[in-house]
Amino acid sequence: MHWTVMTTTRVGAALRIWTAALMALIAAWLAAPWPAAASVDGAQAFIRTLGDRAVKMMNGRDDRREGLERLIQDGLDIPGLGRYALGSFLRQSNPKKVEEYLSLFRDYAIMAYPNLMGKLNLRQFEILSAKAIDPDSSYVVTRIGYGEKETIEVGWYVREAPKGHYKVQDVQLEGYSLRSFQRAKFEKILRDRWIDGLIKVMQAWVANGREEPYLQ
């Protein structure tokens, strides 16, 4: 009986020690510096660099088109945007068809987005704020000046992956999302003709160097 009491006492003491040690580890982990701060600083610097490059290209003598294409490739998460644009069809489609589509989407993005950017006469790019969304993602708000005196606020969702490398996942402009806009643009084609039809339409766009209105 005495042995049983001693054993129970020792077990209870050991459990208390382990519990205290575990709580100490949890407390230390919670008190550790939040790693997102470095990610926010990096994302902010990344967006500032992209903006400065864009303004310089718009006002320089170099080949604007070629420069904007490089900017899109360097800054935008093209595969992620392409996957998002498929919506539910990403899971419903044949993986080989998805792979073919994503390869084509890269060509499409390099063709379409510089066309949109080229219509703006950028003259100013200013960082207004930046905040962490999670340890790897940040939201950076900028003010862009274009035309004679127009300005507009643009939000950039930036993800760090791998460490030290950043890509823009989405752009917010007056409540509109680039990802959502792209998905909506493809949705009717996908519903009418599935991914095979979308691939054919995109192939025609890329071959012609511009998007044409989709006619069923």
In DSSP notation, 175-209 reads TEEHHHHHHHHHHHHHHHHHHHHHHHHHHHHHHHT
Whether 139 shows a pLDDT value over 70: the answer reads yes
Mean pLDDT of 185-198: 92
Of the candidate ranges 24-28, 172-176, 211-215, the one whose mean pLDDT is the lowest: 24-28
Mean pLDDT of 142-157: 86
- Tell me the per-residue pLDDT of 165-176, one tens digit each, with 9 for 90 and over: 899 999 998 888
Cα separation, 151 vs 119, whole angstroms: 15
Residue 214, domain member (yes or no): no
Q: What pLDDT, on the 0 to 100 scale, is given for residue 10?
A: 54
**What's the CATH number where 132 sits?**
3.10.450.710
Cα separation, 5 vs 11, whole angstroms: 10
Whether 122 shows a pLDDT value over 80: the answer reads no
Instruction: Please state, for a pLDDT cut of 70, what percent of the chain lies above it.
Output: 77
Residue 215, domain member (yes or no): no
Cα separation, 23 vs 8, whole angstroms: 22
Cα separation, 182 vs 85, whole angstroms: 6
Residue 73, domain member (yes or no): yes
Do both 190 and 107 map to the same domain?
yes
Residue 143, domain member (yes or no): yes
- Identify the bridge partners of residue 204 per DSSP, sorted by sequence position: none
Cα separation, 151 vs 84, whole angstroms: 29
Residue 165, domain member (yes or no): yes
Cα separation, 43 vs 49, whole angstroms: 10
Residue 136, domain member (yes or no): yes
Domain range for 146 is 36-208
Number of domains in the chain: 2
CB 126 within 8 A of CB 142: yes
Query: Which of the four pLDDT bands, split at 50, 70 and 90, describes residue 152?
Result: confident
Tokens of 136: 């790897």
Mean pLDDT of 45-72: 82
Helix, strand or coil for residue 216?
Answer: coil
Tokens of 123: 């003259």
> pTM to 2 decimals?
0.76
Do both 104 and 8 map to the same domain?
no
Of the candidate ranges 11-15, 59-63, 177-181, 205-209, the one whose mean pLDDT is the lowest: 11-15
Residue type, 71: L
Residue 213, domain member (yes or no): no
Q: What pLDDT, on the 0 to 100 scale, is given for residue 102?
A: 95
- Tell me the per-residue pLDDT of 49-59, one tens digit each, with 9 for 90 and over: 988 888 887 77
Do both 125 and 99 map to the same domain?
yes
Specify the residue for token string 């940040």: 138
For 124, which DSSP code? E
CB 148 within 8 A of CB 126: no
Cα separation, 113 vs 110, whole angstroms: 6
Distances (CA, A) of 160 to 6, 164, 166, 168, 169: 55, 6, 4, 9, 10
Residue type, 94: N
Whether 98 shows a pLDDT value over 90: the answer reads yes
Whether 5 shows a pLDDT value over 80: the answer reads no
Whether 26 shows a pLDDT value over 50: the answer reads no
Average pLDDT in the chain:
80
* Cβ neighbours of 2 (radius 10 Å): 6
Q: What pLDDT, on the 0 to 100 scale, is given for residue 113?
A: 85
Of the candidate ranges 20-34, 109-123, 190-204, the one whose mean pLDDT is the lowest: 20-34
Q: What pLDDT, on the 0 to 100 scale, is given for residue 20?
A: 53
Mean pLDDT of 156-183: 89
